[in-house]
Amino acid sequence: MISAARLSRRLHDFDIIDATYYMPADPARARADFQALRIPGARLFEIDEIVDRSSDLPHMLPDAGTFARAAAELGIDGSRPVAVYDRSVNHFSAPRVWLTLKLFGIENCYVLDGGFSAWMNAGCPVVSGDAGDRTVAPRTWTLDKGRVLTGAEMAKAVAAGDGTIFDARSKERFAGAAAEPRPGLRSGHMQGASCVPFTSLTRSDGLFVDPSTLRTMFGYPTDREPIVSCGSGLTACVLALGLARLGLNARLYDGSWSEWGRGALGDIITDAV
């Protein structure tokens, strides 16, 4: 994490990424908000555009070529630290972009604590209008596939009871007491999973919870490479960020409940209430 005060002091040393994403998806709103007001130097990372287009699942991680083109257009070549923010009240989408960048090898990457609201509340500078072109020469990037689980790998892990699984969905969805927002998906949760709603990782003042609170939420010590999941692989990354603050490298089940909830991976290893 990086605070608004610290980032504002070093703003010109960073590549800045606006990761704002609305649910249901509203890219026009995200673009309009970006044009209206943003952190100086920011570029908009469109989560539904920088994806694996061969998949029918929502916003799956991009392949290396897609990421390379997007990174070049965003002005990212890996030579500078990156700070990512969004406009939510609960760090909704910035951690997804943070983890994407980390998985492609950008280690010096941070999420703005409290997001754009914290930036505004601190009286930090903002700009509006056209962001201009900051394209850099493309380079080769490699996805760390060891930290991303496919549906088949997830099914094997669940069946074997192999690994700690954290689910970022609400308690109601986890328990099967609330319907899934995407049609055609059954309710419930994976056998052996624990529910840690992503919203619980943001304090009432909009800042991320402290490591002591995170240890209570996740249990500590724990599996050194726990698995994180959610509805579509987006808010699972909030949990990955929390675990990173405890020194743990989470593995992302990218398909998450959008894939698992279809039932094709085996009803026998899904609990539904």
Residue 230 known to be catalytic: yes
Q: Around 65, how many Cα atoms within 13 Å sit in the side-chain half-sphere?
A: 3
Chain mean position to CA 264: 25
Collapsing DSSP to helix, strand or coil, 43 comes out as strand
Collapsing DSSP to helix, strand or coil, 110 comes out as strand
Residues 258/231, Cβ–Cβ less than 8 Å: yes
Residues 10/20, Cβ–Cβ less than 8 Å: no
Q: Is 28 exposed, middle or buried (0-12, 13-18, 19+ CB in 10 A)?
A: exposed
Closest-CA residue to 83 (of 124, 143, 137): 124
* 157 contact partners, CB below 8 Å, separation of at least 6: 149, 163, 165, 227
Q: Is 37 exposed, middle or buried (0-12, 13-18, 19+ CB in 10 A)?
A: middle
Q: Work out whether strand 15-18 and strand 42-44 pair parallel, antiparallel, or are unpaired.
A: parallel
Q: Which of 109, 124, 195, 230 is catalytic?
A: 230
The residues assigned a catalytic role are 230
